[in-house]
Amino acid sequence: MSWCCFFCLQWATLRMERGAKEKNQQLYKPYSNGIIAKEPASLEQEIQEMRRSGSGLGGAEFDMSDIFYFCRRGVESIVDDEVTKRFTAEELESWNLLTRSNYNFHHISTRLTVLWGLGVLIRYGILLPLRYTNIPGVVTVLCFSGRMKSFLSEKVHLMCYRICVRALTAIITYHDSENKPKNGGICVANHTSPIDVIILASDGCYAMVGQVHGGLMGVIQRAMVKACPHIWFERSEVKDRHLVAKRLSDHVADKSKLPILIFPEGTCINNTSVMMFKKGSFEIGCTVYPVAIKYDPRFGEAFWNSSKFGMVNYLLHMMSSWAIVCSVWYLPPMSREEGEDAVQFANRVKAAIARKGGLADLLWDGGLKREKVKEVFKEEQQKLYSKVLVGGEED
């Protein structure tokens, strides 16, 4: 029965992809639900333009109209800003019959409600129980994996993750598998949910790096460590970057150890964009294997909004969606070039991943989900403005 579902969904995905190709459309549309059209010009350009049209002198002195620029920019960000919308699930253009994706769709017709009711029956009555039957298998394998020898452990691992994939009915398309990460390297990918790990690990073995969690996630983490060396740390320990960097470089130097899997964004983003990569993993100086992961939101929203849902709630959502459909692209390996520092290297890798996955490439820090804006951003604005004023006066 579950094979049946599996094949049905696979066929549906293929049909959609073919349909999109025929119409020459992109299957995963770039996120373009903006309310307003924003001016791409820089601060200097805008202020110079304002001055020229005003006093006709284009002089560099302060003008009363300069405030318009800041005022307009401020109000624009009140109406629509780049960051807030990345931390909530993406809006769909058409409803996928899941209440959780229902933002703007209200009672439209009785027929649609009946369809939705049918969908609920199928998802909770048939798909969910079928997926649950996979869990005992996963648990057994995890418990026994610690005692197996390392050459068996690889096979066990793959089997375990593939059962997880079946448990979620994840339909994954792997592209360019010749670029799969090898030992002694670091694999970096964009982060949308903990399922990213399952998706990548079912196609290859990795050593994981990540924040220690409590609850169900913590139990899973501790079980995994028994089989394979993973590096879990506390976020507070992250502040001691040298410690983490040392552990990572030791691991990488040992060629017999598995490639490390890192998500440099540091937090879950909603899969419409790639946010700033933390430079830590790019300072180590080994080969980096970038991977782009893109989910199809029509079958189920994979983004984990950790401030809204806990892990168990999230897993329930995942297992009662239609399916998790995603594409994984293995990009060719990259290394730091001469004269390139860690930040530039990180941005280069980020741009490559964003390009391949059809995601927006943003400079914003994913940490803004939790923290306030650093003063340094405001100072940047002030610096730019003062250059326009004072710089001109010195002429």
Partner 1 sequence: MGSTSSTLAKIPNAEDLMQETGFTPAHLVRLYDRFKVLDKDKKGFLTPQDFVAIKELAMNPICDRIIGAFFTSGGETLDFPSFVRILAHFRPIDKNRPKEPTSPDPINSRSNKLKFAFQLYDQDKDGKISRHELLQVLRAMLEKQVTEEQLESIADRTIQEADLDRDDAISFEEFRKSLEKVNIDHKMSIRFLR
CA distances in angstroms from 188 to 171, 174, 326, 333, listed in the order given: 21, 16, 17, 10
Place of tokens 């002198």: 57
Residue with Cβ nearer partner 1 (68 or 144): 68
Residue with Cβ nearer partner 1 (1 or 37): 37
Structure tokens given for 365: 């820090």
Residue with Cβ nearer partner 1 (1 or 35): 35
Between CA 298 and CA 316 the distance in angstroms is 17
For residue 351, the minimal CB distance to partner 1 (Å) is: 22
For residue 340, the minimal CB distance to partner 1 (Å) is: 27
Structure tokens given for 330: 């293995």
Which helix (H) or strand (E) segment is 325 a member of? Answer: strand 324-330
For residue 130, the minimal CB distance to partner 1 (Å) is: 33
For residue 52, the minimal CB distance to partner 1 (Å) is: 10
Structure tokens given for 77: 């960000």
For residue 1, the minimal CB distance to partner 1 (Å) is: 36
Structure tokens given for 89: 């699930």
Residue with Cβ nearer partner 1 (74 or 339): 74
Residue with Cβ nearer partner 1 (99 or 381): 381
Between CA 260 and CA 181 the distance in angstroms is 9
Residue with Cβ nearer partner 1 (335 or 381): 381
CA distances in angstroms from 156 to 21, 166, 363, listed in the order given: 38, 15, 40
* Interface contacts to partner 1, rule CB under 8 A: 34-37, 50, 53-56, 61-85, 88, 104-108, 364, 368, 372-373, 377-383, 385-386, 389-390
Which residues on adjacent β-strands are paired with residue 327? Answer: 173, 294
For residue 382, the minimal CB distance to partner 1 (Å) is: 5
